Structures are given as structure tokens and as C-alpha cells.
């Protein structure tokens, strides 16, 4: 009887559990996570802080998930080492867990730059449910009125909206010149920034936080921040939301090949036999760039986990690849960004743009050899599904170019042969 061990209980871990159990209902399956609360949706933790969702709504699987899948769940314990020769995972406290097939789905950890005062009471990160619970409790306990959010990417925008909904005055500080700079070009960013500012958020770009200062009557508690240019912003709490880095500590110095994350093949297997990796910790295939890279996205982590789980259980599966795919709606404005949405100047690329400033609409497609390799949709996302199909399947859109960004573009505009193919996929 096979023995499977999974390190991590988030998206990739959950996907793997379900795939393993579909292929092998009887093998022993152990999931180890250092989080006391497991199988929740990380994208929803901002809804928990804002009060929009309670713990039950944040849970992405029911409370009997482990029992229903015959999983031994070791919660709130950290794996400290892996012996790949003896196939053993060691936990804090010295407990040893043997495995035959191992999945490393340890995810990422917050990147926190060195800042004077970062140890003060009232400084938070925002990647786990525990982070969200502690932050929400702190806001209530000190009756917080203001916050500084460091970082204006996806995590920063997400927590900023949650704090605004809680009634706090928020200042976002972003080192880059534009917010959401990894997803949007300057025009797209400007539209979103205008909407966010209208919601009462103060946005400071081109600077970073140099120092976190204390309150006049209590230096150990957050009282404000000092920026690169010397400006001081008073606040009650600080949230560091710059991004995450892969948690690769367990494989550092071992035979497992790493780059920025753990390198995997199309079966999600690492350079060590019987060891797999998925999710934010893994460098998986990007079908747009045609190379492996980090893509810390929930839906892709689930897919990668499913592929790994199938292969661990002996049911061959290959990962077709993903790419940068962000679909968000914060401050009431929907945004979709996929693939190479904000490329550098390149004569081999063709860029199609349509904008309507009065409606805050901005649409952009990036093409190479008449194939879509990137798209940005701001406040007009209804055609995202069709456009993504064309992109994922490398459809030559030469004859459709003039229609792709029109408001009435849709199914009927596609050639009949393509419609038939899409019906088969659906």
C-alpha cells in the first residue's frame, strides 16, 4: 500500500489530495502543515478582515475534508528537514514521517525588507488566515483609525480595500512609479489608481518606508512611518504587502534542483525521484514565455497539485502550463491581466489598444505572429474567456484583429470551424 506525504495544505496540497484519492482510495496519505487552520481560500482573507466573510465562508472545503479523504492531517507542526535517501520527513519535536511519494507544496512566505522599527507592535504581513485574524483583532482592540500599506501590488490593493471597508484611512506606499505595475501598463494603472483615490486612499509612489516610528506615549507601538524623502505619515498600523518568496528552506543544499523556486518537469517531479513540488514554491511551465518560472497564483497551484497527485498515484498526467493570470475586482473596478500584458518595446510584437476614458474602460492585446500572448482588460472583462481561449490555443487571429476589442465581439464573430472546436472543449 503506497504511502504519500504532502507538505502544505493550501491550494496545491488540496488539489493533490483529491487527485491521489481519485486514483488511489486506499494508500496512506499524510498532510503536514504548520498552520493550525487549514484548507481555506487565501484569496478570501481580505474579505475576512473587511467583515464580508466569516471563517465558514473563507473555508474552501468542508470541515470533514480530511476525514472524507482518509487523510492523516498533522496541523500546526512544522517540517524541519527531509532525508531524501531514507525517505523521511522530520518534524519539530523530532517526530519522523516516512514516505514513498512526497509532494512539497510549502508555498511562499512574505518578503519583508529590513526597516528600522519593523518589530514594533502593530506591524503585520498579509498572506495567511492567521495574519488576517491577528490584523482584524488588532484593528478592533486599539480602535485603529489609520494604516500604511507598503506595496501596491495584488496583496497591497487587496488589504487596502479591506481596511477601507473597516473605516480606516489608508496610505499606500509603492516603490515603483505606478500601482499594480507587474500587471498593468501605465495607462491601465492610471485608471485603477484614479478609482482607488476616489475611494479615499492616499497613494504615494516612487518611495519606500525607511523607518517605522512609535507613538509619542508608547514607542513600542506603531505611530507612523518615515519615507525615503523624509516625509512622515502618521498611522496606527502598518501592513507589509510587498509580495512572497518561495519557501525552499527544506531543500536548500540538497539534491533537489532550485532556481528562485523548486524546478519541476511537466509531471511536477523534481530532480529527486519520487519527490514532487507544486504551487507557489515551484517553478512550473509558462506557455507564453515557453520557460519555467514562478507563478504564485491560486488556480494554477490547484492544477499543479492535481497533476502531481495523479503522477504520485501512478496515473500519468502532464501539466500543460499556465501563465500570469490575474482576475480581480477591487474598489468596484474589474481587471483581467493575462500573459505578457506589459511588454518592453519589441519590434516583433503588435499591440492593439482601445480605451474609453469616460467609462474608465481600457483594453489591450499583445500579439506575436498574429497570436495573442498578452491581454489587459480594465472595466470591460466580459470577453475575457473567449480571448483567453484564443490565446491558450495559439489561434491565428489575423482575420479577427479589427473585431477583437470591439464591445460586440463574441462567439458569433468566430469562424464556424473554431466554434465547433470550442464546443468540444466546453
Q: What is the C-alpha separation between 313 and 308, in angstroms, rounded?
A: 9
Write down the CATH number for the domain with range 3-108+247-312.
3.50.50.60
DSSP 241-278: -S-EEE--GGGTTSSS-BSSSEE--TTSB-SSTTEEE-
Q: What is the mean pLDDT of residues 384-411?
A: 89
Residue 201 phi/psi, 5-degree rounding, is -85, 135
The whole-angstrom separation of Cα 335 and Cα 327 is: 6
| Residue 140, helix vs strand vs coil | helix
| Assigned CATH for 332-425 | 3.30.390.30
Alpha helical stretches, state H, 85-243? 129-141, 154-165, 186-198
For 6-38, the pLDDT digits (tens) are 999 999 999 999 999 999 999 999 999 998 876
Reported CATH class of domain 123-242: alpha beta
Q: Could you check whether 123-242 and 332-425 share the same CATH topology?
A: no
Mean pLDDT of 129-147: 96
Q: Tell me the pTM.
A: 0.91
By percentage, how much of the chain surpasses pLDDT 70?
97
Per residue in 390-400, pLDDT (tens digit) is 999 899 999 89
Q: Where are the domains of the chain?
A: 3-108+247-312, 123-242, 332-425
Pairwise CA distance, residues 102 & 293, whole Å: 21
pLDDT of residue 36: 80
Amino acid at each position: 500500500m503506497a504511502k504519500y506525504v504532502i507538505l502544505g495544505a493550501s491550494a496545491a496540497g488540496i488539489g493533490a489530495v483529491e487527485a491521489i484519492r481519485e486514483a488511489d482510495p486506499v494508500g496512506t496519505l499524510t498532510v503536514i502543515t504548520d498552520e493550525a487552520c487549514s484548507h481555506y481560500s487565501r484569496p478570501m482573507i481580505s474579505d475576512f478582515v473587511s467583515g464580508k466573510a466569516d471563517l465558514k465562508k473563507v473555508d474552501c472545503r468542508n470541515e470533514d475534508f480530511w476525514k472524507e479523504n482518509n487523510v492523516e492531517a498533522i496541523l500546526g507542526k512544522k517540517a524541519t528537514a527531509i532525508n531524501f535517501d531514507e525517505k523521511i520527513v522530520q518534524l519539530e519535536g523530532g517526530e519522523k514521517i516516512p514516505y514513498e511519494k512526497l509532494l512539497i507544496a510549502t508555498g511562499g512566505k512574505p518578503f519583508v525588507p529590513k526597516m528600522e522599527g519593523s518589530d514594533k507592535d502593530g506591524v503585520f504581513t498579509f498572506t495567511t488566515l492567521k495574519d488576517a485574524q491577528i490584523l482584524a483583532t488588532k484593528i478592533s482592540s486599539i480602535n485603529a483609525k489609520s494604516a500604511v500599506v507598503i506595496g501596491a501590488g495584488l496583496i497591497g490593493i487587496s488589504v487596502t480595500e479591506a481596511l477601507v471597508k473597516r473605516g480606516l484611512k489608508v496610505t499606500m506606499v509603492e516603490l515603483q512609479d505606478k500601482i499594480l505595475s507587474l500587471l498593468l501598463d501605465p495607462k491601465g494603472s492610471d485608471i485603477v489608481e484614479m478609482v482607488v483615490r476616489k475611494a479615499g486612499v492616499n497613494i504615494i509612489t516612487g518611495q519606500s518606508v525607511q523607518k517605522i516610528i512609535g507613538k509619542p506615549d508608547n514607542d513600542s507601538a506603531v505611530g507612523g512611518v518615515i519615507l525615503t524623502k523624509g516625509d512622515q505619515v502618521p498611522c496606527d498600523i502598518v501592513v507589509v504587502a510587498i509580495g512572497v518568496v518561495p519557501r525552499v528552506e527544506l531543500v536548500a543544499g540538497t539534491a533537489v534542483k532550485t532556481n528562485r523556486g523548486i524546478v519541476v518537469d511537466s509531471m511536477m517531479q523534481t530532480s529527486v525521484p519520487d519527490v514532487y513540488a507544486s504551487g507557489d514554491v515551484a517553478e512550473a511551465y509558462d506557455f507564453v514565455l515557453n520557460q519555467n518560472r514562478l507563478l504564485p497564483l491560486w488556480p494554477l497551484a490547484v492544477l499543479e497539485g492535481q497533476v502531481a497527485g495523479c503522477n504520485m498515484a501512478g496515473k500519468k498526467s502532464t501539466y500543460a502550463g499556465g501563465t500570469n493570470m490575474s482576475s480581480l475586482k477591487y474598489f468596484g473596478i474589474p481587471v483581467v491581466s493575462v500573459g505578457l500584458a506589459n511588454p518592453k518595446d519589441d519590434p516583433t510584437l503588435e499591440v492593439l489598444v482601445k480605451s474609453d476614458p469616460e467609462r474608465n474602460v481600457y483594453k489591450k492585446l499583445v500579439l506575436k505572429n498574429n497570436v495573442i500572448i498578452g491581454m489587459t482588460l480594465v472595466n470591460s472583462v466580459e470577453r475575457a474567456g473567449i480571448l483567453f481561449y484564443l490565446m491558450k490555443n495559439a489561434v491565428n487571429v489575423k482575420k479577427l484583429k479589427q473585431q477583437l476589442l470591439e464591445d460586440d465581439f463574441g462567439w458569433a464573430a468566430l469562424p464556424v470551424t473554431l466554434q465547433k472546436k470550442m464546443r468540444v472543449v466546453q
